[in-house]
Amino acid sequence: MKNTEKKVVMISGANRGIGKVVAEKLSEEGYLLSLGIRNPGSLTGSLSSIPETQLLCHAYDAKIPQSAKSWIDGTIEHFGRIDVLINNAGILHSIGLEDDSEELLDEMWEVNAKAPLRLTRLAFPYLRKSGSGRIIDIISMSGKRVKGNWVGYSMSKYAALAASHTARLQGWEDGIRVTAVCPGYVQSEMTAIHAPNVKQEIMSRPQDIARIVSTLLLLPNESHVPEVLMNCVIEPV
Ligand SMILES: NC(=O)c1ccc[n+]([C@@H]2O[C@H](COP(=O)([O-])OP(=O)(O)OC[C@H]3O[C@@H](n4cnc5c(N)ncnc54)[C@H](OP(=O)(O)O)[C@@H]3O)[C@@H](O)[C@H]2O)c1
């Protein structure tokens, strides 16, 4: 397949964790990748040896609005199109209801809620042009239900889910399909730091998310999946 026929996928936060594994899988499957990461020099493993014709590693900081535009513009300059946006970058501060931490709340609001919306808005015109544009928002089960005391994280993920569904409605007529992927615990640094009492072995694996993302991207416009809920423990639905 020529590069001009391959789909261009943007992934935020692809230098480690879930985003990195998703990027590796999609690269193996022949997609062209535009990775938005805070420190482009920090790319390691198989991604670091992919040629420039197939991979753009662009600076992107979710806390800097201008960097979203610069990454989108850089992707268009490099590949000439955008077919898929995967909003993955996210942070967790495990502050609870009675903690007084406006700054940490604001940071989660900025990175988890506002930044993906900003990227979605900027990518929309290009996804429209694609005719079968896709957005995959890596939200969380924390955006679907509350069962602990991570109030700020949960608030930011509920907000991100609202943005995801808004994009789903607004993009429909132009062939844009939006899916919110909502995992429970997944093996990563995030859970190793913030959920030390839950064993990593019992958690879902980033590879499982990558498989889901890969399958979602194969579905035609007529088979849309608005949400995927994934659990490593039983929960009421
Ligand atoms: N792990 C879980 O159990 C779980 C469950 C449900 C949903 N999620 C969601 O899945 C996504 C990925 O999580 P993960 O588990 O892979 O976490 P992770 O291992 O902590 O990785 C987070 C990623 O987000 C990036 N990031 C953080 N702040 C950023 C910023 N200001 N600008 C750009 N990139 C930034 C990080 O880049 P740096 O290396 O530069 O920090 C890193 O690439 C997040 O949205 C998270 O909320 C995770």
Strands 227-230, 55-59: pairing kind? unpaired
Question: Where does ligand 1 bind, in terms of residues with CB under 6 Å?
Answer: 12-13, 15-19, 38, 60-63, 88-91, 111, 138, 140, 183, 185-186, 188-191
Q: Evaluate whether the domain defined by 3-230 bears CATH number 3.10.20.90.
A: no
Please write the tens of the pLDDT for every residue from 13-64: 999 999 999 999 999 999 999 999 999 988 999 999 999 999 999 999 999 9
| Cβ contact 228:180 at 8 Å | yes
65 pLDDT above the threshold of 80: yes
Q: What local confidence, expressed as pLDDT, does residue 3 receive?
A: 73
Q: What is the mean pLDDT of residues 138-148?
A: 97
Q: What is the mean pLDDT of residues 136-149?
A: 97
Strands (E) located in the chain? 8-12, 32-37, 55-59, 84-87, 134-138, 177-183, 227-230
* Domain ranges, ordered by start, for the chain: 3-230
Calculate how far, in angstroms, residue 5's C-alpha sits from the geometric centre of ligand 1: 30
Contacts 24+ apart (CB under 8 A), 188-192: 188/16, 188/17, 188/18, 189/16, 189/17, 190/17, 190/90, 190/91, 190/92
| Cβ contact 41:118 at 8 Å | no
Q: How far apart are CA 22 and CA 135, in angstroms?
A: 14
